Structure formats: structure tokens, C-alpha cells
Amino acid sequence: MLTFFGQELSTKTGYWVYSKNRFNFDMIGVLESNPIRKLTFGWNLFGPLDRIAKPNGNAVSGTIWYWNEKETKFQSVNSGDDLLPRRSYWIYATNAVNINCSTGEVLD
């Protein structure tokens, strides 16, 4: 079991942490071996395992957003840009869909 400030963390679940000051923390655990993540209808916090092409499919064809810490604002992912590991993205799914976190393939 992995905890962060007393909160149990689960695999394949996105977490948003607010801090007034920049800080680093180490996470110890076992990497998830199954790269398939189910996105639910609506906004999903998503983190790719590797550098992947921007997911494209009927269920995730809208704008994808990430937090740009240098500019302190949300920024959209441009067409043709890759999603990067160790960065979280907000993806809107128009229906439940599976996505491969290692390749970006949408499995409708």
C-alpha cells in the first residue's frame, strides 16, 4: 500500500496535489504492469508511461490540457505534439474508452 500524507494511493488513478511551494517527494512501489487504463465519460487525469503520440480516437478527439509550471497556466497540447512521461494531462472522453498508457492507442 502506498500513502501520501495519510491518503492511500491507487494505481491508474490520477492525483492533483496543490502546494504553495515547490517540493519533491519520492514514491516507492511497483510499477503497474498492465498499461491499459480505462477513461470514464468526462474529464480524466492521465499520465503516459512513455513518450506517446497524442491519443486520437472518436472518444478522445477534443483538446488535451496540461499544467505548464513555468508559465503557471494550463496549456493545450498542439496537434502533432507528443505526451510526455512524468507529466499529467486532462483528457475529455465522450464515452468510456480504454487507452494504452505506453503507446497512446485508443481501444474503442
| Every domain of the chain and the residues it spans | 2-107
Q: Tens of pLDDT along 61-103?
A: 788 999 998 898 999 999 889 999 888 999 999 999 999 888 8
Q: Which residue spans within the chain are E strands per DSSP?
A: 2-4, 7-9, 36-39, 42-46, 52-53, 65-68, 73-76, 82-83, 89-93, 97-100, 106-107
Conformational region of residue 20, where left means phi above 0, alpha means psi within -120 to 50, and beta covers everything else: alpha
- Predicted TM-score of the model (pTM): 0.78
